[in-house]
A and B are shown apart, each in its own frame.
Chain A
Amino acid sequence: MSATYDEVVAKYDPVLGLEVHVELNTNSKMFCSCTTTFGAEPNTQTCPVCLALPGALPVVNEKAIESTIKIGLALNCSIAPFSRFARKNYFYPDMPKNFQISQYDEPICVDGFVDVEIETDEGPKQFRVEIERVHMEEDTGKSLHVGGATGRIHGAEYSLLDYNRAGIPLVEIVTKIVPGTGKYAPEVARAYVAELRDILRGLGVSDVKMEQGSLRCDANVSLKPMGSEVLGTRSETKNVNSLRSVERAVRGEMIRHADLLNEGKKVKQETRHFQEDTGLTRSGRSKEQAEDYRYFPEPDLIPVAPDAAWIEELRKTLPERPSIRRKRLKEEWAVPDKEMAAMINADVLDIVEATVLLGCDPTKARTWWLGEISRIANEKDVAIAELSITPADVAEVVSLIASGELTDKLARQVIEGIIGGEGNAKQVIDKRGIKVVNNDDELIAAIERACAAQPETAEKVRNGHIPAAGALIGAVMKDTKGQADAAKVRELLLGHLGQSGN
């Protein structure tokens, strides 16, 4: 019988450690000039360097170093005056050199922190997540497993390798252990990754798309009995690729560890793989012996020694910290707490801000993005950012409503059309023949037709039974294909039936 989460946190104190890998969005790879565009045909973005052909040599991408220093600064790290690349030696077919160029004992950024805020039973509470190091390395190629069950590595007959991704710059951000989160460990883990993602996005150094793998999180979890000072054995859950999964993976591992400990068993120090469908982790194939990576300074590369002037120049380019920005926007837009949280949760802050910057009213911008557009995104099961509607589209729709050219109801049709790929607001209006029927004569004609069709209802209204008007208004709206302003129809109808003033 598995322990409930409440039982787990009553008995044990979780300790977190998070390693996040971020693909930088440089134009070219870390050590060669191949392009980094996502989704290209296999092996079209490779060269002697990233294929590790005999004789090829790496040369560091300057922008990657700059981006990493910026990340370090944004995470309150010290930038090392002298840092070096090192070779991490291990054999794996998706890694062409059979060593990864990484950093070992001389990383470029050390000792930073990120503050995250989460909702607790006692209201919002801040946790500090300390950063141990930020270092540069390179990504591996991708393998496709053929034969066996659905592309899984187990039981595959052979594998096919594509090295387009090999050599894409990666930055690894490693936290110190995060104690003291108690029952909020899953939320803190999630909030940390979310905050990191927002910081990186703000810096413009990465696409930070977890679903495409440009931001990947490995979560280390261990439990210690309440009050104990001794750290428990940790498990490392790999490649957790959504914010929700981070939370689920940490929670799941806490329960799994507690179950083992409760049964008097030991937690195995191992790598686990998160499974999106079940929310559980499974054990990775354990190695016969611990890898000995035989790190040594990469002799093909020269040490990196950023001078103070360069660092200060980069510091000047740093944008506003996301937490500060959120506070500022909340005040500027006068958003209630709950709504602000909803926006952050739905990840629409950037897009709402972009819409507001185009002159749109903040409340209206927020309502559209968080309401109708979010609804459609949910329906289609895609991220809002992936819909083809832009802040400019929303700003235009809002301004058309303000000028009376669209009603709210019509505006929803226009938005649906834009998302459906029918063009911008004007084009959708033209194509669909959408217009607000404001012409009184047309509306009166429609009202007369409705009253003629439902004489008894018209009579009721004429006799003062106002609620009966609803059926007639509906008929008029139907007659005008929803293009009339309902409020106006009501006003005219009641006047027509001698009930003006109501």
Chain B
Amino acid sequence: MSSLSRDDVAKLAALARIEMTEAELIELSSQFGMILDAVARVQDVNLDGVKPTSHPQPMLNITRPDVVAPSLSPEDALSGAPAQEDQRFRVPQILGEAE
């Protein structure tokens, strides 16, 4: 029986940037055992020497030529912005530094 503790779920939620309530954390951790048992069936098969499939069609080298096409107007680009200022997206203060 697999399981994930409330703290495991809290760590994953932080990685996924979701602020979960205590009730959500507990509910998810209680459901996860069953779900993980079900998905862990992928480990029941002998997979030695089997290649992974990441793309359903066996295609290679799909590219586009280096040609410029018109961009969105800044009005369209910012049309969905929850807040904007000086033709830029306005966002709350950023804490961490960029990568």
The answer on direct contact between A and B (beta carbons under 8 Å) is yes
Other-chain residue from A34, A62, A306 in contact with B64 (beta carbon distance below 8 A): A62
Known: A92-B96, A285-B97, A305-B60. A48 touches B72 (CB 8 A): yes
Asked whether A44 is an interface residue with its Cβ less than 8 Å from the other chain, the reply is: yes
A302 at the interface (CB under 8 A from B): yes
Q: Which residues of B contact A363 (CB under 8 A)?
A: none
Closest Cβ of chain B to A143, distance in Å, is 6
Q: Which B residues touch A91, using CB under 8 A?
A: 17
Residues of B37-68 whose CB lies within 8 A of A? 54-55, 59-68
In angstroms, Cα B65 to Cα A60, docked, is: 9
Interface centre among B55, B80, B91, B93 (most CB of A within 10 A): B93
Residue contact A160 to B63, C-beta cutoff 8 Å: no
**B69 and A292 contact, CB distance less than 8 A:** no
- Asked if A335 is at the interface (CB within 8 A of a chain B CB), the reply is no
Whether A157 sits at the interface, judged by CB under 8 Å, is: yes
- State whether the Cβ of A374 lies closer than 8 Å to any Cβ in chain B: no
Per the bound structure, the CA–CA distance linking A82 and B93 in Å amounts to 42
* Whole-angstrom distance between the Cβ of B69 and the nearest chain A Cβ: 4
Contacts of B93 in A (CB 8 A): 145, 147, 156-159
Chain B: number of interface residues, binned into ranges: 35 or more
Tell whether A161 pairs with B63 under 8 Å between CB atoms, given A42-B86, A284-B97, A303-B55. no
Chief secondary structure at chain A's binding surface: loop
A400 within 8 A of B: no
| A27:B68 contact, CB within 8 angstroms | yes
Contact of A43 with B74 at beta-carbon distance under 8 Å, contacts A28-B68, A33-B69, A34-B68 already known: yes
Residues 93-115 of chain A, each 1 if its beta carbon lies under 8 Å from chain B, else 0? 11000101000000000000000
Q: Is A273 an interface residue (CB 8 A)?
A: yes
Known: A47-B72, A160-B90, A299-B55. A26 touches B97 (CB 8 A): no
Contact with B along A59-78 (1 / 0, CB 8 A): 11111110000000000000
Nearest-CB distance from A51 to chain B (Å)?
6
Query: For residue A287, which residue of chain B has the nearest CB?
Result: B96
Cβ of B83 to closest chain A Cβ, rounded Å: 8
A45-B72 Cα distance, complex, nearest whole Å = 7
Any chain B CB within 8 A of the CB of A497? no
Q: How far is the CA of A303 from the CA of B62 in the complex (A)?
A: 8
In the complex, how many residue pairs between chain A and chain B have their CB atoms under 8 Å apart? Answer: 139
Task: Report chain A residues within 8 Å CB of B17.
Answer: 91, 98
Contact of A65 among B63, B67, B86, B97 (CB under 8 A): B63
Q: Cβ of A235 < 8 Å from any Cβ of B? A: no
Task: Report if B19 contacts A (CB, 8 A).
Answer: no
- B98 in contact with A92 (CB, 8 Å): yes
In whole angstroms, what is the CA distance A44 to B86 when docked? 12
Please judge, given known A-B contacts A41-B74, A299-B55, whether A60 and B88 are in contact too, CB under 8 Å: no
Chain A neighbourhood of B68, CB < 8 A? 27-28, 33-35
Complex Cα distance, B86 from A303, in Å, reads 40
The answer to the question of A46 belonging to the interface, with a C-beta cut-off of 8 Å to chain B, is yes
**Cβ of A63: which chain B residues have Cβ within 8 Å of it?**
65-66
Contacts of B60 in A (CB 8 A): 302-305
CA distance A427 to B84 in the complex (A): 49
CB distance from B94 to the nearest CB of A (A): 5
Q: Is the CB of A35 within 8 A of B71?
A: yes
B15 at the interface (CB under 8 A from A): yes
A10-44 to B contact mask, C-beta < 8 Å, 1/0? 00000000000000001110000111000001111
Q: Which residues of A contact B (CB under 8 A)?
A: 26-28, 33-35, 41-48, 51, 53, 59-65, 84, 90-94, 98, 100, 140, 143-147, 153, 156-163, 271, 273, 284-285, 287, 292, 294, 296-297, 299, 301-306
Chain B residues near A (Cβ < 8 Å):
15, 17, 54-55, 59-69, 71-72, 74, 77-78, 80, 85-99
Task: Provide a sorted-by-A list of 16 A–B residue pairs whose CB atoms are within 8 angstroms.
Answer: A34-B68, A44-B74, A45-B71, A46-B72, A46-B74, A47-B71, A62-B65, A84-B54, A90-B99, A92-B99, A98-B17, A143-B98, A159-B90, A160-B86, A299-B54, A303-B60
